[in-house]
């Protein structure tokens, strides 16, 4: 399978604008997908915020879809990092969203003097829920929400109650995804535009992870025995179970792939995390990034 790459042209401008804006920001709020916090954290954002010595509030969004044990491990991991605090949230739950301003203010106590507002910036990769979160924080619709990545195209700064401002930014990828596993996890979680991937390949890689980590959930959903299966075999079984057939009786694996991806993305399979701090560390230490041909991304935005 070729490596997954996706870096639409407008993201170059978004990267430059983010670097400029950070000079006047007190706290960086980065939204990640709680099901794959490591893979969905943009290393460029981490580099830029460290260069400016800005604290980070890491929001593990969609925590209601993630494995609670894995999320707890990620929370401990991030809260042990200097200059960082983590919260596990669902941007659709008002109680979770209400915790964010106080957590951000605690990271910048020098702004609690009533002289200057606490200036925050909301960042993250595409389709992790930033626009939903922005609207929830402001309690009104100010950001366009969509089920495709790269909906937000420009920055906007708004007042977030007394003494606080929040700058929303476009979803930002980094130019080269170095680890194949990250690319496929991101594609499975819909953070990468569909024009950059082949759904059957993404679903087969997702199937490999699910069969390894959550075989009981797969067995229950599709009423199958999972022993000895890999992701490609799972797709064939899903195609038969769901009647995904082409004219002439051939299996429609693309349709089966979409069914598996939809079940994962919507939480229908159950609460699933694709990585833990330990599994990510093993991946980073055991696998050298591969040099492979990029998939031409175009601009899906």
Per residue in 120-135, pLDDT (tens digit) is 999 999 889 998 999 9
CA distance 10 to 193: 14
Q: What is the mean pLDDT of the chain?
A: 87
Residue 300 confidence class, pLDDT cut points 50, 70, 90: very low
Residue showing tokens 């075999």 = 233
- Rounded to whole angstroms, the Cα distance separating 186 from 174 reads 12
Number of C-beta neighbours around residue 251 at 10 A: 16
pLDDT digits (tens, 9 = 90+) for 150-179: 445 567 888 888 889 999 988 888 878 888
| pLDDT higher than threshold 90 for residue 92 | yes
Selection from 210, 213, 216, 214 nearest residue 234 by Cα? 210
Q: Can you give the pTM of this predicted structure?
A: 0.86
**287 pLDDT higher than 80:** no
pLDDT at 295: 29
Please, what's the b/e burial string for 43-66 (b: 16 or more CB within 10 A of its CB; e: otherwise)? ebbbebbeeeebbbbbbbbbbbbb
Report pLDDT digits (tens) over 220-243.
999 999 999 999 999 999 999 999
pLDDT of residue 11: 64
Map out the domains of the chain with their CATH numbers. Answer: 10-168 (3.40.50.300), 198-286 (1.10.1580.10)
Looking at residue 145, its pLDDT comes to 58
What is the predicted pLDDT for the residue at 1? 43
Q: What is the pLDDT of residue 242?
A: 92
| pLDDT at position 139 over 60 | yes
Quote the strand ranges of 245-290, DSSP E. Answer: none
Three-state DSSP class for residue 272: coil
34 pLDDT higher than 80: yes
Instruction: Please say if the pLDDT value at position 293 is more than 50.
Output: no
> Over the stretch 246-272, which tens digit does the pLDDT of each residue have?
988 899 999 999 999 999 999 999 999
Q: How confident is the model at residue 299 (pLDDT cuts 50, 70, 90)?
A: very low
Residue 297 has pLDDT above 50, yes or no: no
């Amino acid at each position: 399978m070729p490596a997954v790459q996706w870096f639409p042209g407008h993201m170059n401008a978004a990267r430059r604008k983010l670097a400029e804006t950070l000079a006047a920001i007190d706290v960086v709020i980065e939204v990640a997908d709680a099901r794959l916090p490591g893979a969905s954290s943009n290393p460029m954002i981490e580099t830029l915020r460290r260069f400016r010595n800005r604290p980070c509030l890491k929001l593990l969004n969609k925590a209601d879809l993630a494995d609670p044990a894995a999320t707890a491990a990620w929370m401990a991991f991030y809260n042990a990092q200097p200059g960082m605090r983590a919260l596990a949230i669902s941007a659709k739950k008002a109680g979770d969203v209400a915790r964010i301003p106080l957590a951000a203010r605690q990271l910048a106590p020098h702004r609690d003097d009533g002289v200057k507002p606490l200036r925050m910036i909301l960042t993250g990769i595409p389709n992790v829920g930033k626009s939903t979160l922005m609207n929830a924080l402001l309690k009104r619709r100010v950001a366009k929400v969509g089920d495709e990545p790269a909906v937000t195209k420009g920055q906007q700064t708004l007042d977030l109650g007394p003494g606080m401002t929040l700058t929303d930014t476009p979803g930002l990828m980094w130019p080269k995804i170095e680890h194949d596993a990250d690319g496929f996890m991101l594609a499975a979680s819909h953070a990468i535009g569909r024009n950059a991937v082949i759904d059957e390949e993404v679903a087969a890689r997702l199937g490999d992870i699910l069969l390894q980590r959550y075989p009981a959930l797969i067995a229950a959903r599709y009423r199958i025995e999972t022993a000895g299966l890999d992701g490609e075999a799972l797709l064939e079984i899903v195609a038969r179970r769901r009647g995904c057939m082409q004219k002439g009786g051939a299996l429609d694996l693309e349709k089966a792939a979409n069914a598996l991806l939809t079940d994962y993305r919507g939480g229908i399979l159950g609460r699933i995390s694709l990585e833990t701090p330990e599994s990510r560390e093993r991946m980073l230490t055991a696998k050298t990034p591969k040099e492979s041909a990029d998939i031409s991304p175009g601009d899906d935005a």
